Chains A and B, each alone.
Chain A
Amino acid sequence: MIRLFSHTPDLLLPNQHVKFEARTDEFAPHIPSGSYWKVEVTNQITFTRAFIFPNGEKKTIPFDNNSNYTYYFNLYPESPDTLYEILVGLKGGPDILIYPIIPAENYLNKLESPHLTIDLTDDIKRQISPIRVYDSPVDEPKLRIHTVKDMETLYFRFYNEGPDFEKIVLHFIINRCKIKQVDYEPERYRVIQSYDLIGRW
């Protein structure tokens, strides 16, 4: 799940609950849709990536894990009992556009009009839903992502629409949550929706 807030969202705390929802029966192979999970332990990790991009060029970086860490964010859990709740803060390049993509080559945030689909080569069409530095500044991150083991791969596509090289810095706050499935419906819980629910209806 990826969401852009109007404020910095709170991180999950121990003893809070989450509910995973998906269009299909499974949120992930080990997480049934509609299941409730309790957060038992949390651990916050910070991680920073920086990129310098030439003007008019693009690059797509996957969030999943790979030994080639230069080209992969490696921000998916390896344990089935772990949920990553990730805040993304941005600084630098004001002309760098970021598009969430999931699965490969499918822009997550789209308009319904068949006449306006994202096209990076078109001045107007590339303005559909990019995330910019001011949308989630590093000192007040508003972009939140959830990942679990074996979830389909999320990507960030970067495009520099400025006139020159620009550097963008992504500061991740990863709330690493140890979670355990429960067989009761908690009084309060946070809903985590799959990408097929939030981007493909």
Chain B
Amino acid sequence: MPSKVVEANTTAQTVFSVPYDKIGKIMFIEIDNQATSAITITIQDVFTPFATDETPSPSEQTKDRKVITVGAGSEYHYKTDGYIEILGTCKVVASATDSACKITIGYEFE
């Protein structure tokens, strides 16, 4: 299973992009926050929907799929078994920029 580590950053960091013909599944989330204060991590799904009768010119959407706050010096482990789906690009954005807080996302494509 592929995984990627990103550091906490207030600018959204790309974890993976879902291929056109697939649906992304987040399998696990691990956060190791060795920073000196608590950090809130938001996992986002960024995509542009197809044009419909009701919305002929769709715009890019950013949907929050999971929000986690991890205390200073704490770790967070979460096995999702794929119930968090990603339709477009998975990004991680944090409440603070700190290289001492590392986020690992494991994922699969279906």
Contacts and interface: CB of A to CB of B under 8 A. Distances in A.
B74 to A, nearest CB: 31
A57 B87 contact: no
Contacts of A165: 47, 49, 61, 63, 87
B23 A92 contact: yes
Interface string B16-56: 00001111000000000000000000000001111111110
Contacts of A57: 52-55
A59 B51 contact: yes
Contact of B21 (A58, A59, A164, A169): A169
Given A59-B51, A165-B49, A165-B63, A52 B21 contact: no
Nearest to A52: B49
B110 A52 contact: no
Given A91-B110, A165-B87, A58 B20 contact: no
Contact of B47 (A48, A52, A91, A92): A52
Nearest to B51: A59
Contacts of A169: 21-23
> What is the interface of chain A mostly: helix, strand, loop, or mixed?
strand
A200 to B, nearest CB: 25
B106 interface: no
A41 to B, nearest CB: 28
B47 A54 contact: no
Size category, B interface? 10 to 19
A52 B63 CA distance: 13
A53 B110 contact: no
Given A91-B110, A165-B63, A165-B87, A54 B20 contact: no
Contact of B20 (A50, A56, A164, A166): A50
A52 B20 contact: no
B63 A58 contact: no
A51 B55 CA distance: 14
A91 B21 CA distance: 10
Contacts of B23: 91-92, 167, 169
B21 A48 contact: yes
A125 to B, nearest CB: 18
A171 interface: yes
Query: Which 3 A-B pairs have CB atoms at the shortest separation, nearest pair first?
Result: A57-B52, A48-B21, A52-B49
Interface of A: 48, 50-54, 56-60, 71, 91-92, 164-167, 169, 171
9 contacts: A50-B20, A52-B47, A52-B88, A54-B52, A54-B54, A59-B53, A71-B51, A92-B23, A169-B21
